[in-house]
A and B are shown apart, each in its own frame.
Chain A
Amino acid sequence: MTTTATRESFGKALLELGHRNPDIVVVGGDLNISTFAHLFAKEFPNRFFDLGPAEQNMMSIAAGLAASGKIPFVSTFAVFGTARPYDQIRVNIAQMKSNVKIVCTHAGLLTGEDGISAQSIEDIALMCALPGFNVVVPSDGPETESVVKLAAEISGPFYIRLSRPATDVIHQTPTNFVLGKAEELRSGSDLSIIACGIMVSASLKAATELAKEGIQATVINMSTLQPLDEKAVLSALDTGAIVTAEEHYIHGGLGSLIAQSAARQGAVPIEMVATTRYAESGKPDELLTKYGLSSSDIVDAAKRVVGRKRD
């Protein structure tokens, strides 16, 4: 499988947007090489503002830019772009419905060796707690590109969550991302695995393993977490069991959102693959394994949930 870093796809898409639309501006916080916003900065220095690591200032400034008709992309790491300036995001962006796109890289455990202060496992919960905020966790590079370009065209706030390392490419052709629409990548009748971000690839691997043992799984890429594709959840209920998989804390993320939607629309056993605690420094793969986010964890969860179904 080929790999690519979603943050790099973002940087390239942003550069392309910059050429296409003079209203695109970029706001960064001293991490612009890491977020790939430097590609835009180099080409459009007059439309790029580096505010240093001063994220509260950054978010309110972005809202001010949006109030004057600009389309600001704010880019930093996930911990610094959500938790630190949360009230600024809440009042100046969410409550004002500002046309600001927050694109954060280095989300989740994949941030690895930097340790728990840098590993954002709460950001999905935070951002989905903001009414009207579009929250998207792309599954790979090609989808990221599509999401970033679409976000520039849809008026209103976006949070787009990306990773540091290169991750599996699961879309071989350019994707046509539709906000609020889940993507079925594989179909099976025994259970549905609903995943987002890097866990989509892990889910596909898990489904292949499960098939060897005669368990057929549907795999859904739920890249939009808000607004949630409730219809996709409804059809997942038809398989009689659900596993959710996300690189995030178990509370308030994809699993919580799916469980909430499933409970409203029916009732099936659900198992959740997510982290249940803060991790530590380590290599991304080591962390995913130690903290229960590998494809074998999805396989185990699938077996458990199918077992509960038979009870």
Chain B
Amino acid sequence: MTDAQTSPVADRKIDRSKMAVSDEVAIEIRDMNKWFGNFHVLRDINLTVNQGERIVVCGPSGSGKSTLIRCINALEEHQKGTISVDGTLLSNDLKNIDRVRSEVGMVFQHFNLFPHLTILENCTLAPIWVRKTPKREAEETAMYFLNKVKIPEQADKYPGQLSGGQQQRVAIARSLCMRPRIMLFDEPTSALDPEMIKEVLDTMIQLAEEGMTMICVTHEMGFARQVANRVIFMDQGQIVEQNEPEEFFNNPKSDRTKLFLSQILGH
């Protein structure tokens, strides 16, 4: 295993005291299928995520990882099966979709900050317009979370003036301002320079320590080992294998998983 894969988080003792998994179901996916035109991109996905779980999804490029987590907040429609988030069934009802989206935070590979708004405005926009929070209160919350991701001093700058790592931390803060119960991460570090990966992972670890339910698509295996309580391996639109990190890495069952791990970990 290369050091680069583990080093970002290895120097940190992780506080597991609040990382308890509850019995309460946060996300329930039943026999879900999705097609892009005729292309069957997700096949018979079954996945239950409890409140407080930290799940890492990995798999070769094009295996449907992004599509899977984008289905959870209805950025993509699924065609068959059911997804329910916090007890709300994702159907075509726009009301449900908007409600789920405001409960589920999402962090993208390319940050997707709004370049025409300042960092503070990026963070207060949704609370003010979706949650109808008064402006002052929304700004206080935003500053609280910007403090948390350690960039309060950038509040009045525009996204274009920040480094990639800083932008990604703002994106995380922006999602947190909606006080989501679940956070989705789609390869949050893969567009970043190596020296910035650590700061973003640190932020994510901090979130995990506070008991946030998280689903992360990532190839940071160090993060997976230390933070995840379950690792899911996907290939060709299917969940091939899922297990606790120790078992997953040391004792993979399927050949595809073994092949993938050997490639990514450079054995």
A binds B: no
What residues make up the interface of B, taking CB atoms closer than 8 Å to A?
none
Residues of A within 8 A of B (CB): none
